[in-house]
Structure 1
Amino acid sequence: MTADILLVDDDNTMRRALASWLTLAGYRVTQAPDGEAAIDHLEQTHFAVVITDIVMGDIDGIEVLHTARCLTRRPAVILLTGHGSLESAVAAVRSGAHDYLLKPCDEEYLLNSVADAVQRYQSEQRLRDAAQILTDFLHVGAPNTGAAIATSPPANLRVGEISIGTSRKQVWIGSRQVQLTPIEYALLCYLAERPEQVHRYSAIVRSTHQLNLDEFEAKGLLRTHFLNLRKKLGSAYFATDRGIGYMLTIPRSEAELEASK
């Protein structure tokens, strides 16, 4: 069995060892030393499986997992960690991970997990392709609705001093460019399309993460993302209606300035 694998780990020794096992097993392996490099690969190449460490730098394995779930052709994701617990394993699977492995990995267990993940990916793609053929046959010219989320807004958006272009690398606040992760960008676009409106935690997660969670779980998942957005863009832009959801708002001084124009 052959397939394209994206292997992500900031531990060079561990990553190279795993890559060697996978290559000898017949897989085509692309290595990424951190989460940012992994996301760049995911935006450019289709992979059947992503194997990623959880604890990395600014962009961790959970962010890589959520980014992978937002692709039209979603790879199966295997998470690696040196600090596992039953709770974290359950949370990983609830977030869409195919498997959750403790480091250092057993070679046979890893290869079995990857083989299962490749089969899952291939089965999902066959079903997706068959559904698309049927859709094209019944509705000639109908738009493809297979994409998980619209990571690019229909047009450039502006909320106060925040300007949002058609990629995560085209976000500015005033004259300062801001680097967002794919999930942060998706969250910002989602709120910016309907500013000054409260969006429920579960509705946000359903759109940006493709997960059906209850309000408590969704709130917990979003908390870190919004902490990061507030640090990068300013806390005044993000309002919380406690127990309900989040809203993108124009800070009062900027709103008054806009109204006076």
Structure 2
Amino acid sequence: MWYSRARAGTPPGASSGGSLAERSVSASDRRFSQHQGCDQLEHKVIPAMTASILVVDDEPAIQDILTWALSAEGYRVATAGSGEEALARVEEEDFDVIVTDIVMPGLDGLEVLERSRVLSPRAAVIVMTAYAALDTAITALRRGASDYLEKPFSVDLLKERVQRLLQYRETLWKDRLVQRAMQPRPAGSLVGESDAIRALHEQIMLAARTPSNVLITGESGVGKELVARGVHAEGARHDAAFVAINCGAIPEALLESQLFGHVRGAFTTAVQANQGLFVAANQGTLFLDEIGEMPLPLQVKLLRVIEDKSVLPVGGTKPLPVDTRIIASTNRDLEREVEAGRFREDLFYRLNVVHLAVPPLRERRGDIPVLVDHLVHRLNAKLGTHCLGVERAALWSLIGRPWKGNVRELENVLERAIVLGGNDLISMRDLSAEPATGQGAPPQNLRGAVRRFERQHLMEVLAATQSDKRKAARVLGISLASLYRKIRGEDDEPGPDSERT
């Protein structure tokens, strides 16, 4: 029922004598009670963090009563007194349900319905009408409304309809997660939909068309080997071997033997011959990961292999012809390494024929949701788990992190959350057990540190307010426009808002 003094007292804005709105509501209560009897509809309450509701009505009394009733259920409720105000609110904030009157001055409820579906497609819309016009309700349903209510109605009925919509949406959401989890994904594919990743995909395709050597640069954990595998898979050598080695993980003497091979008896432990990775990758691709860590003596030998297209095994006297494409990667600035004398300039130019730069994760935060989906699927296969994904607040938290370790760090965070959480959806509680990732990070100047802290704090506030941007702006003490600029990363210069933050 809209309200019952015996259970909850008088709602805000309702006089004890009974206004016109109150009297019509009470009549509806009696009618609803006679129809339903004394039985109460039992339903599972969805946590308030998953439900924000916008009430649109030009009558303040109706706004007050619906706000009171829905807030009592734990929902976050906002109001608008006109269609224009409602659309302004929808532009600024994400709502789960919009409850709107049909007949209002200015923009009517049908206009609100149509425009809100464009601005916020995920919001379910319930229309209210006092004119008992079935054709209007049918029109609203055809235009995308989820449900309709005929005034006067009981708030118990409204609460039931809202709860049913939320439960239905939750079911659809989980079904979609299950479907996505069951969709096969190509192994070793570079995941992302941002402009930066789209551009990188195009560059990979162009590089694959040539036989030239490729140098891939980027921070640790961004996926340089995935890029290398992509170039190989799309090129003419895709049917031949792709062989990878980390040049920084093997001692110099062993690295030489691994790359170029050795003959039997070349050294004490050489009890049998080893053909080496250049020969193993003949007609295919050799991926030299962390090429910047290669010692100078081996750089000389590598340069000779590139120039002569032959390899001389350790202890051998006869060069072996090889036709191997080289793809190298590094997280160092090789031009600076050349200037410092730690990397040969001639080798740098031989490797840097085609240059592919992989952006860090913090520069493509929009890819994090699809990356999370991909990584959860992969981790489920690895761990034998059935995690469906990440809750909305937890996803906001992931988007806001600095990710010094990039995609590799993100995967580690998700794996830990899945193992320790053991739930269908990863929650903020699962992520809160994460150890601090900033330890051991390279030092940065004060401005960079402040910007990093501000970004992380902003995302934490958004997560705490369940993505309510208006509320987050109030908590941060900045304007809503400033909040949007900061989310987009456009507000890097200090100003009045940032000072207040």
Q: TM-score under structure 1 normalisation?
A: 0.49
- Work out which of the two has the higher radius of gyration on C-alpha atoms and give 1 or 2: 2
More strand, by proportion: 1
Q: TM-score under structure 2 normalisation?
A: 0.27
